[in-house]
Structure 1
Amino acid sequence: MIKVVGHRGAAGYATENTLSAFKKAVGLGVDEVEFDVQLSKDKVPIVFHDDFLDRITNSRGFVGDKPWKKLQKVKVIDHERIYKLEEILEFIKDFPQGLQIELKGIGTEKPVLRLVKKHRLLHRTTFSSFWHDRVKKIKELEPKAKTGVIVSDHPVHPLQVVRNARANNLHIRKSYVTKDLVKLMHANNKKIFAWNADTEKDIVPLIKADVDYIGSNRPDVVIKLLKKLKKC
């Protein structure tokens, strides 16, 4: 069964990585929600994508240079704010959705894993990163953790990339997904997460390739197409 993942909540309908976006994703019926985590200056895990505040807030500067006391006062567009990871975990644990947590900042592995385990969400969580050493570190800290390596291009040896990080999944840009790649991963007990597909033109080939996860800013579009093609 292909799982539908709301990218940064449901970023096509609400401000990314905010409670509004996660509520929207849950309401749309996604299987899992994806979001980004980095650390404040005083090492508080926060849910925020960019290295800098400028794009979606009323503030400026490098996120990691500011303590949580200041970040919690920053205003995000659409009357939203920045959330601590713990706040989002407290919200999502009351719903059945799985979690796809992308580790963005240096040193995120231990504090993020600690909070996920504190809220008893390890079995529902996949940890991923473009920095594959962080993925490997999660596995070292908690062998039972599900992990994924994110790649921005098509690796020459994709299976080896996943194995080197001791990961479970390959998270790859939608345009690099092929049926042969999916077959290779599945034959070796690995899964494929395709990101991010928002239109029928992009989504249908992923469904036909039988990927395991489809990340989308408009997850309702994926859900409708899955029902139409009877793949959910």
Structure 2
Amino acid sequence: MFTKQPTQIIAHRGSKGTRPENTLLAFQAALDAGADGIETDVQLSADQQLVIMHDERVDRTTNGEGFIKDLTLAQLKRLDAGSRFSPDYAGTQIPTLDEVIQLLIADNFTGVFNLELKTNKIHYPGIEQRLAAYFERQPVPFRLVFSSFRAKSILTLRTLYPQAEYAKLFKTAGRQAKLMQRRHQVGGLHPDIHWVKAHRFWLPHAQLRPWTVNSEADMTYCLRHHFAGLITDYPARAVALRTKIQGGVPSWKKS
């Protein structure tokens, strides 16, 4: 038996390494792989709908062009979000936040749902209020964790929806993240794995969920340090490696 909690395996944009990222297919694949959590990104369409996509533009992952903020939900739904990954997934749509939430509820998911507010480049005025209103209307049976690179988004949403958990994303700005943690403005820290390895003497003082942990060496590093979690494009690989190193199974899964 462990004296420490097993490291949570958080699927980055779903099973991004094996399915078109941030699609219902990717999230279902992550759940099927036994991931403890899902990490994804939320933005606002031109008609103020909460949509799931990482980039501010649709160009990289779909057959369309332009900024999400300039396209309506109907226009976004007409785009093909699967073919760029593989022709096998042609016709896959960009999901809304509600579609993802309903998928998780239907799967009886009780793990971690980490929703990143993509407000560090485009601030999306009102997105925090819309998220708070949505989750007030829609209770969820899983742990809800909001994260962002933009501190103001975290602080605004935390005031509106204090019952969720909050985490600070960062690539190099460790001081700001640590200050927010000391002030109890966030509970968790989500640093770049490269930053973590460069600041290893800081590790005993924080609960970390590094991103994006894809190599076996990086996964092993996180698992042997018993980090709170790791965020990966390959949840199936990470789950298998965790079993080998730590044992245990995802707690939300029904036996």
Shared fold by TM > 0.5? yes
The TM-score with structure 2 as length reference comes to 0.83
After the TM superposition, which of the residue ranges 87-96 and 173-182 deviates more from structure 2?
A: 173-182
Question: Distance between the aligned counterparts of 1:130 and 1:71, measured in 2?
Answer: 25
One-letter amino acid of the structure 2 residue matched with residue 64 of structure 1: K
One-letter amino acid of the structure 1 residue matched with residue 115 of structure 2: I
Q: CA RMSD in A?
A: 1.8
Q: Is the 8 A contact 1:133 1:165 kept in 2?
A: no
Question: Distance between the aligned counterparts of 1:3 and 1:223, measured in 2?
Answer: 9
Question: Distance between the aligned counterparts of 1:197 and 1:61, measured in 2?
Answer: 30
Question: Distance between the aligned counterparts of 2:160 and 2:75, measured in 1?
Answer: 31
Aligned: 1:183 with 2:204: yes
The match for 2:28 is: 23
After the TM superposition, which of the residue ranges 30-39 and 69-78 deviates more from structure 2?
A: 69-78
The match for 1:87 is: 99
The TM-score with structure 1 as length reference comes to 0.91
The match for 1:192 is: 208
The match for 1:217 is: 233
One-letter amino acid of the structure 1 residue matched with residue 104 of structure 2: I
Question: Distance between the aligned counterparts of 1:110 and 1:71, measured in 2?
Answer: 22
1:111 is displaced (CA, Å) by 1.3
Q: Residues 54-133 of structure 1 correspond to what in structure 2 (within 5 A)?
A: 54-77=59-82, 78-79=89-90, 80-94=92-106, 95-96=108-109, 97-105=111-119, 106=124, 107-121=126-140, 124-133=143-152
Question: Distance between the aligned counterparts of 1:192 and 1:231, measured in 2?
Answer: 20
| Residues 85 and 29 of structure 1: CA distance in aligned 2, closer, same or farther (over 3 Å) | same
Partner of 2:17: helix, strand, or coil? coil
Partner of 1:90: helix, strand, or coil? helix
Is there any run of 5+ residues in structure 1 with no aligned partner, and where?
Answer: 186-190
1:109 is displaced (CA, Å) by 1.3
| Residues 115 and 64 of structure 1: CA distance in aligned 2, closer, same or farther (over 3 Å) | same
